[in-house]
Amino acid sequence: MTKKQLVKDPLNLIITGVGGQGNVMISLIIGNAFVREGYFVTLGETYGASQRGGPVMSHMRISKETQYSPFIPDGCADIILGMEPVETLRMLGRYGNPNVITIINPRPIYSIDVIGGQAEYPDLHKLVESVKELSAKTWIINATEEAQKMGSHMFANAILIGALVGSGVLPLDKKSVEPVLREIFPKEITANLAAFNKGIKLVRS
Amino acid sequence: MAEEAKGCKELFSEVIETGLCALCGACTGTCPYLVYYKGRIALLDNCALLKGQCYEYCPRTYIDMDVISQQVFGVPYSEEELGTAKEMLMVRSTDASMREKVQYGGAVTTLLSLALAEGFIDGAVLTRTSHDKTPSPFLAQSADEVLQCTGSSYMACPVLGRYNQIPKDNGNELGLVAMPCQVLAVAKMKKDPPENRASIGNVKLVIGLFCTWALSPDRFYQFLKENLDLSKVKKFDIPPPPANRFDVYTASGRTSFPLEQIRKFTMTTCTYCLDMTSEFADISVGSVEGIEGWNTVIIRTDIGADLVEMAKKKGKLQIDKLPSANLTHLKEASLLKKKRALNEIVKKSGDKNNLLYVGLSPRLADKLLA
Amino acid sequence: MANIDIDAPGTSQLLIGNEAIARGALEAGIGFAAAYPGTPSSEILGSLAQVAKEMGIYAEWSVNEKVAMEAAAGASFAGIRALASMKQNGINVVSDFLANLVMSGIGKGGLVLVSCDDPSAISSSNEQDTRPIAKWLDIPLVEPGDFQETKDMTRWLFDLAEELGTLCMLRSVTRIAHARGNVRLGELPKKQLKAYFDQIHDLKSVMPTTFMPIPSPLRHFFLHMKMDKAREKFEGSAFNRYVGPNKADLLIITCGSCWLYSQDAVKALKLEDRVGILKLGTLWPLPEKFIGEHLDKSEKLLFVEEIDPFLERSVMEMVANLPPSSPRPIFYGKRSGHVNAYGELNPDLVIKAISTILGLAYQPRDIEYRKKAEAVAKSNVPERSMTFCAGCPHRATFWAIKNALKLDGRGGVVTGDIGCYSMALGPAGFFQVRTMHCMGAGAGVANGLGKLGQFGFDQPVLAVVGDSTFYHATIPALINGIYNQSDFILVILDNSATAMTGFQPHPGTGMTAMGEPTKVVSMEALCCSLGAHVEVCDPFDLKGTIATLLEMIAEGGGAKVAIMRRRCELVRAKKEKPPYRVHVDPEKCIGEACGCDRLCTRVFLCPGLIWDKKANRSKIDEVTCTGCGLCVDVCPQGAIIKEAV
């Protein structure tokens, strides 16, 4: 089976969410899978203080040729994986373009600005519609919901990795990702693999 | 006047920070933001509500005296020195052992115990002075508990905060022993009943006390602690003029402080208070000048009259005519307080037409200010 | 964290810059590493500590950077290669030692200092460029431009330090330290290390075996000689290189992370044949000859670096010294305003600078799309402020402090320090903290406030400090408060972790960096022995904590200590299940009416407790709630229910 090529070089992937959601985990798995396939990968993350409830974004630059900087320039995202709706829209606002492909988990996490009454959380339905309008293609994956059905919202990460891989937007397949999953999730590997497969199913249905 | 939305922000700027706060407690016990602590009202967080019950029921925010009088008595605000009154009496408890424990004649204790025993009320909110002489609000639900609350500490106590804490669905009927400021707050509540707490309609009996001024529970208490062994104190008393003393009774006898020394600890708000005899209560109770061991009782409503009548029939109270000299003197003292207070208010506001929180008819105001 | 001890030379791993440094140090054969946690440097020591036992090296979390640096120097004096790493603030803390160390010289073991700066202060109190200390104190300085270089430079620096006989410095920034990239591994050494502090055999040659900065003028002269030798080596270094045409419309001179940004920018603008990039890796002493050889590539120079114009000014000085006939290029950079002299850079900022200088337009995406995307984002994307995690004991502590100070009523002042609890400057901690500077400053400032009684000052003073910060810098300030009888309460937030930087252990936790159990330095025993009145509270017992604070405020009589002890929620959650299942009873919740006005959501602000607009009630967000049950005590209606799990 021939390996797929990058549709463009570099391929720019953003993974976004809220501190504590597991953003870093997902980017580690995808990133490592690519390095083992012989790609240059640069992964830029914002974490540390922002873990405490603030927005978190990972920028991944994937290239066959050279090491790119850990920042995707404005307007140059190719794929956005949004673990939280408002954060997804935040990314599209800055890094989106007419060709961007978006995968969104439509499960809101309320900031204290919203809880305290200083800001309003937008209508979820309208928000998802906006995401669709700003993307060339959108997949809505109810990862948190499905994860809770499996017993814990923590499985949402593996589901979303599955969705990303199953969507075919990355030149990665199950074979390249599974071994990395095993290394990074040594406990609960069965459950996480099941979640991963669920994600693939969800994105293809 | 009640159209404008006012809340705890205005409560602080108009009342608490201007020295008008009487520590009546009407603004505490309903919400988590306003609490009474060591002689002051503290605001724990900023409430974002524009209109608040704290401001509405405060006895130092605007009161239309006529409107309140209509609510309580069905008549406009009386121009009499002692307010609307049916009868003025002199009474004392027939129980000699009780008389030893009480401040004067035991009228309040007797009437409350009777009301409880007869099921007229299920409980009474009043002040209890503990062993170390700190006054605190208390809900008494038996005659024994009422007996624990005899004696005055002469310090302000936020009794209404305790009423505010009684849950909404508690159907018990209540009595209340209160100072004139607190009686005023209750009258305001009766006019616009509050939500989220026990129905004000269940406050069946308000016994108001005579009051010239109250002492600061923080500063005066400090003074007492520094000068006395409070655990040995049995009773406080301020005898009538010309005594000019503050008396402290212990097992070994009596210590006295010159009244001038004690006046320093008066609450600022008392200067601006017109009400000496709790004009909006069902029954008002005080001492009898020159006659130890008796109470002056003013009956104002039918409820009050019925209760006193019951006490008389059951032989709980000895009732006499109030000597005319006492009545005259009481009226003079009461009128003097009104005049002094209104004049001080005008001095504070700087404008004869601005009576701060007091809503009087111009004619009555002029009469008092003359 | 990745395993940096993988014995697979030639393979490529995806490492963060910090792991690359750790790996480089391992490949160089270090024996000793010391540090204090500080974002973005913590993973250097963290990853070394993880493999320390197996690699036969020693790695420790020191109580602060000064001790870490001194300890590493000690190892160097005894012939062991050593590394000390820190964030920018650590450089400030070690500066006195460094000023003396450069004079005394190092031992036979190469000594490397790694400084990780945090441009834009993403996880810091301040932003600060630490490179100027190299110029200030005469320290050879390098700055890696990508992840491979981060490892290779670290590896090389130990050799350089030993050849020169002086401390060498590597400077990194967040976007290298915490970003991941491909790193090809080298060989791991198999040598057994031996430590020995040389004896003095010959009284005539004391200097190599006694480490002292005196006589200073002579030592200073020797130091300059070392720097001249360093410059010679830098002139021929492969870490400096040129990429681009022989004649360029613009020459970018850059270093560090900006090397990647500049490349990105040139590619995005498709100017590979018009714009050249001179990348420097060895920054101080400046390789003047090397730079001089490329100056004629263009009339225009654009300096791209973070944060200060360090390279820019150094090259400016160099150019000023050139003979009058030399080309006089136009300098663009921070001085000219083309590049921000503050904050971190990114490819877009470099694109903007280049476009402005060359008069180009740049449109990465369709204009209509951009307008729509920006408008949609602006109106639909609410702010997401930082806050304490659900279940965090700090929320309880600051709730208790707020209530205590309001009850006291005299306008109490809380001075703050560095850690998660710094967030109490904002709504997360109810705006309680009023000052924040560097580690230990809270207690220092409190000392001053607590002595102002003679000027009519009667506001209660509280200084909040984390447990790790306490051991790091606060003990001298507490001693000062007891000795000078300053009226303040030192509130130690003991959550058993150095939380903000990644839950590293400290002297109070009973665990070392290498995972070994050790003596606990009891903070209450320590404070008691200093003569302070000490109370220990559980912040979740709100009533008790408030009462204790009020009693201590009323006490007076010099500095005293209140320890707020409860484990960090994230630490607890790793080991235990949630203690309660919490829900809101919608019948009891009165929400917006008088009697509450949404105290739980409007004021208390736990992210696990949200406001359901439709139902007009509070609700538990079961994804975020950690089941601590604290909100149960906050709701005045008793509408929040907890059930033991």
Facing residue for C597 by CB, picked from B43, B48, B195: B48
The whole-angstrom separation of Cα C589 and Cα B198 is: 17
The answer to whether residue B279 is domain-embedded is yes
Residue that the structure tokens 């050879």 belong to: C140
Instruction: For residue B37, list chain C residues with Cβ-Cβ distance below 8 A.
Output: 407, 409
Question: What letter represents residue B307's amino acid?
Answer: L
Q: Of B227-231, C81-85, C388-392, where does the model show the most confidence?
A: C81-85
Interface of B with C in 182-211 (CB under 8 A): 195-197
Predicted TM-score (pTM) of this structure: 0.89
Give the pLDDT band (50/70/90) at residue A26.
very high
Locate C119 and state its tokens.
């441009």
Least CB-CB distance to B37: which of C407, C595, C603? C407
- CA-nearest of C155, C156, C157, C177 to C167 is C157
B209 in helix, strand or coil?
A: strand
pLDDT at B3: 64
Mean pLDDT, chain A, integer:
90
The confidence band for C643, taking pLDDT boundaries of 50, 70 and 90, is: very high
Residue A158 maps to a domain: yes
DSSP state letter for A48: S
What is the separation of C-alpha C145 from the centre of its chain, rounded to a whole number of angstroms?
20
Task: Tell me, yes or no, if C411 comes closer than 8 A to chain B by beta carbon.
Answer: no
Question: How sure is the predictor about C207, in pLDDT bands with cuts at 50, 70 and 90?
Answer: low
Residues 6+ apart with CB under 8 A from B15: B21, B58, B60, B61, B357
Rounded CA gap, B332 and B330, in Å? 5
**Percent of chain C surpassing pLDDT 90:** 85
Residues in chain B, overall count = 370
Say if residues C153 and C170 touch (Cβ distance below 8 Å). Answer: yes
Rounded to a whole number, what is the distance in Å from the CA of A163 to chain C's nearest CA? 21
Contact with chain C for residue B42, Cβ under 8 A? yes
pLDDT for C642 beyond 60: yes
Report whether pLDDT(C275) > 60: yes
CA distance A195 to chain C (A): 18
Tell me the two tokens of residue C182: 């491909």
Q: How is residue C603 annotated by DSSP?
A: I
Split at pLDDT 50, 70, 90, the class of A153 is confident
CATH code of residue A164: 3.40.920.10
- The amino acid present at C124, given as its one-letter code, is S
DSSP three-state, residue A33:
helix
CB distance A97–C366 less than 8 Å?
yes
- Among candidates A66, A69, A113 on the partner chain, residue whose Cβ is nearest the Cβ of C385: A113
Does an H or E element contain C136, and which?
helix C132-137
Give all chains having 3 or more CB-to-CB distances under 8 Å with chain C.
A, B
CB contacts, 8 Å: B218 with chain C: none
Provide the mean pLDDT of chain B: 93
Q: Which of C182, C352, C625 to mutate to test the interface with A (most CBs of A within 10 A)?
A: C182
Give the single-character DSSP code of B266: B
Confidence of residue B1 (pLDDT cuts 50, 70, 90): very low
Look up tokens 């024994």; give the residue. B144
pLDDT of res. C613: 86
Nearest Cα to Cα of residue A27 among C260, C174, C179:
C179
Of B35, B37, B196, the CB nearest to C595: B196
Distance from CA of A81 to the nearest CA of C (A): 17
Task: Look at residue A5 and tell me if it is in a domain.
Answer: no
Beta strands in chain A (DSSP E): 11-18, 40-45, 55-63, 79-82, 101-104, 137-140
Evaluate whether A43 touches A59 at the Cβ level (below 8 Å). Answer: yes
For the stretch A71-87, pLDDT in tens is 999 999 999 999 999 99
Q: Is the predicted pLDDT of residue C49 greater than 70, yes or no?
A: yes
In chain A, how long is the greatest CA-to-CA distance? 55
Contacts of C593 in chain B (CB under 8 A): 195-196
Residues in chain C with CB shorter than 8 Å from the CB of B47 are 597
- Percent of chain B's residues with pLDDT above 90: 79
User: Is B214 domain-assigned?
Assistant: yes
Cβ within 8 Å, pair B44-C407: yes
| Chain C residue with the nearest C-alpha to that of B50 | C594
Tell me if A179 is assigned to some domain: yes
Residue A118 three-state SS: coil
All residues of chain C having their beta carbon less than 8 Å from the beta carbon of residue A50 are 122-123, 386
Written as one string, the DSSP assignment of C322-374 is S-TTS--PEEESTTTTSS-SSS---HHHHHHHHHHHHT----SS-HHHHHHHH
Dihedral (CA of C481, C484, C488, C489) sign: positive
Closest partner CB to A52 (pick from C372, C423, C610): C423
φ, ψ at B37 (rounded to 5°): -150, 120
Buried b (16+ CB within 10 A) or exposed e, C65-93: bbbbbebbbbbbbbbbbbbbbbbbbbbbb
What's the one-letter identity of residue C330? I
State the residue range of the domain holding A93.
11-204
CA distance B53 to chain C (A): 7
Q: How many CB atoms lie within 10 A of CB C214?
A: 11
Instruction: Tell whether B58 is covered by a domain.
Output: no
C407: nearest CB among B33, B42, B53: B42
* Residue A3 in this model has a pLDDT that exceeds 70: no
Residue type, C615: A
C590: which chain B residues are within 8 Å (Cβ-Cβ)? 196
| B43 interfaces chain C, CB cutoff of 8 Å | yes
Instruction: Name all domains of chain C by residue range, CATH numbers in brackets.
Output: 12-235 (3.40.50.970), 241-358 (3.40.50.920), 393-572 (3.40.50.970), 580-644 (3.30.70.20)
Domain count across chain A: 1
ipTM of the complex model: 0.92
Specify if B235 maps to a domain.
no
- Cis amide linkage into residue C40, ω under 30° from 0: yes
The answer, yes or no, to whether residue C64 has pLDDT greater than 50, is yes
* Among C406, C596, C597, beta carbon nearest to B44: C406
- CA C82 to CA A163: how far, in whole Å? 46
Take residue C615 and report the two structure tokens written for it: 């139902």
Return the higher-pLDDT residue of A154 and B338: B338
B48 → closest Cβ in C407, C430, C602: C602
B45 part of contact set with chain C, CB < 8 Å: yes
Which residues of C are less than 8 Å from A49 in CB distance?
39, 122-123, 386, 500
Which pLDDT value is given to residue C584?
95
Query: ∠ CA A62-A65-A70 to the nearest 5 degrees?
Result: 40
The CA distance from C154 to C142, in Å, is 9
Q: Residue C176's closest CA among C143, C140, C147?
A: C147
Residue of B nearest to C604 (CA): B45
**Cα(B228)–Cα(B224) distance, integer angstroms:** 6
Inside any domain, residue A6: no
Angle, vertex CA A19, rays to CA A14 and CA A22, nearest 5? 65
* Mean pLDDT of the A90-105 span: 95
Q: Are A42 and A34 in contact (CB under 8 A)?
A: no
Measured distance CA(B348)–CA(B345) in Å, rounded: 5
Residue A48 has pLDDT above 60, yes or no: no
Which range of B144-148, B201-205, C272-276 scores highest in mean pLDDT? It is C272-276
Min mean pLDDT across A39-48, B317-326, C463-472 is at A39-48
Structural domain count, chain B: 1
Residue B66: what pLDDT?
96
Say which amino acid occupies C225: M
For residue C277 the two structure tokens come to 């990039």
Q: Which residue, among B25, B51, B298, has the nearest Cα to B162 in the 3D structure?
A: B25
Contact C636 B31 (CB under 8 A): yes
Query: CB-based contact (8 Å) between C406 and chain B?
Result: yes
Number of Cβ pairs < 8 A linking chain A and chain C: 208
Residue-level pLDDT at A51: 58
The residue with greater pLDDT, C548 or B97, is: C548
Of the two residues A141 and A154, the one the predictor is more confident about is A141
Residue from A12, A71, A187 whose CB has the most chain C CBs within 10 Å, to mutate: A71
Query: Which of C543, C597, C603, C605 is the best residue to mutate to test the B interface, defined by the most B CB atoms within 10 Å of its own CB?
Result: C597
Residue from B30, B47, B195 whose CB has the most chain C CBs within 10 Å, to mutate: B47
A92 contact residues in C (CB cutoff 8 A):
373, 376-377
The set of residues, in sequence order, having a beta carbon less than 8 Å from that of C576 and lying 6+ positions away, is: none
Q: What is the pLDDT of residues C106-129, one digit of tens each?
A: 999 999 999 999 999 988 999 999
Give the pLDDT score at C72. Answer: 97
* Cβ neighbours of C369 in A, within 8 Å: 96-98, 134
C588-608 core/surface letters (b: 16 or more CB in 10 A; e: else): ebbbeebbbbbbbbbbbbbbb
Chain B environment of C431 (Cβ under 8 Å): none
In the predicted structure, residue A2 carries a pLDDT above the cut 60 = no
- Is B30 in the C-facing interface, judged by CB distances under 8 Å? yes
Judged by a CB distance cut-off of 8 A, whether residue A69 touches chain C is: yes
Whether the pLDDT of residue C361 is over 70: the answer is yes
Q: Has residue B15 got a pLDDT over 60?
A: yes
Cβ C167 vs Cβ C173: under 8 Å: no
CB-CB contact of C131 with C308 (8 Å): yes
C327 touches chain B (CB under 8 A): no
Query: Any residues with CB less than 8 A from the CB of C373 and at least 6 apart, and which?
Result: A92, A93, A94, A96, A134
pLDDT at residue C208 in the model = 65
Q: From chain B, pick out residues whose CB is under 8 angstroms from the CB of C597.
A: 31, 33, 47-49
Domain that holds residue B68: 64-218+264-340+360-369
Mean pLDDT value of segment B326-338: 95
Interface residue A55 vs chain C (CB under 8 A): yes
Chain mean pLDDT for chain C:
94
Cβ–Cβ gap B32/C593 under 8 Å: no
SS3 content of chain C, % helix, strand, coil (to 5): 40, 20, 40
**Of C55, C2, C63, whose CA–CA distance to C31 is shortest?**
C55
Specify if B22 maps to a domain: no
